[in-house]
């Protein structure tokens, strides 16, 4: 599963559009808040993974 794709512009826009539709149906902002937190969590996990990958690279030694 390519979870990192959710941080791309088009995919994130589609996720947030679905969350906005769910907001309209539910009458609140809960789905949008959840979607934004999920995208932010995936983004920060990717940052940590990329830094770990760079620091463990054999090219740095």
Model pLDDT for residues 46-55, shown as the tens digit of each residue: 999 999 999 9
Please say whether the beta carbons of 31 and 19 come within 8 A.
yes
Q: What pLDDT score was predicted for residue 24?
A: 96
Q: Is the pLDDT confidence value at 31 over 90?
A: yes
Q: Which of left, alpha, beta for 32 (phi over 0: left; psi -120 to 50: alpha)?
A: alpha
Region 1-24: what's the mean pLDDT? 89
What 3-state DSSP class applies to 27?
A: coil
Average pLDDT of the residues of the chain? 91
CA 61 to chain centre: 32
Token representation of residue 3: 């979870």
Q: What pLDDT score was predicted for residue 25?
A: 96
Nearest Cα to Cα of residue 35 among 22, 53, 48: 22
What 3-state DSSP class applies to 56?
A: coil
């Amino acid at each position: 599963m390519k979870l990192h794709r959710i941080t791309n512009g088009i995919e994130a826009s589609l996720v947030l559009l679905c969350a906005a539709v769910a907001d309209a149906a539910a009458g609140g902002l809960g789905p949008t808040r959840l979607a934004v937190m999920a995208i932010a969590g995936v983004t920060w996990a990717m940052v940590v993974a990329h830094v770990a990958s760079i620091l463990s690279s054999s090219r740095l030694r």
